[in-house]
Amino acid sequence: MAENTKTLPKRKSTLREYAEAIVIAVVLTLVVRAFVVQAFRIPTGSMQDTLLVGDFLFVNKFIYGARVPFTDVRFPEVRAPQPGDVIVFKYPLDLSRDFIKRCIAVAGQTVELRNKVVYVDGVPLDEPYVVHTDTRVFPKEISPRDNMEPIYVPEGYVFMMGDNRDNSHDSRFWGPLDADLIKGKALILYWSWNSEKHLPRFDRLFHLVR
């Protein structure tokens, strides 16, 4: 009786298995970064005290509809930006830079500043997150920082402001933000580094950004 000469398939080499695992990991990382979550570091104090220089965040790119890389195509949004959302976006005057600010108003609303107080549709906002570091109040003829004529937010735009209200370059100076420049919503602060003390800020680890 003839012996069965059929050979068993060869096992992948260990090197090939490692290479495939690394490729899969890299592809998954790129997909997650492009469409779901991206890390972001806070470079300035414009959102103090909500966010400090040296804070590291995860940004939810999926919620507003992630953009397909190298195209103008976006996935459907889970929901639109809302007042109060802390949002990362491309700086409209230099698209190579990312900014992070708080959404103050959305399309159809009107924003006005009177002596540092923000009014939306004529109603003053309750903003417990805001910090003021300068007691001076500039008239609108000098700067829109503290007093600003009413600005209507058109369709497809949002109005962004920093929580460190006296030290933030935001929609008061360059107008409502085109929503197409939005990258995502700040989600979780996962790490914070105090560069002055050369120590981590353990009290700021792993909490939701609000």
Question: How crowded is residue 76: how many other Cβ atoms within 10 Å of its Cβ?
Answer: 6
Supply the residues annotated as catalytic.
46, 101
Rounded Cα distance, 41 and 159, in Å = 22
Write down how long the chain is: 210
8 A C-beta contact, residue 89 and residue 103: no
- Asked if residue 49 has a cis previous peptide bond (ω within 30° of 0), the answer is yes
8 A C-beta contact, residue 179 and residue 81: yes
Q: Cα(first)–Cα(last) distance of the chain, in Å?
A: 78
What 3-state DSSP class applies to 106? strand
Kind of pairing between the strands at 55-60 and 37-41: antiparallel
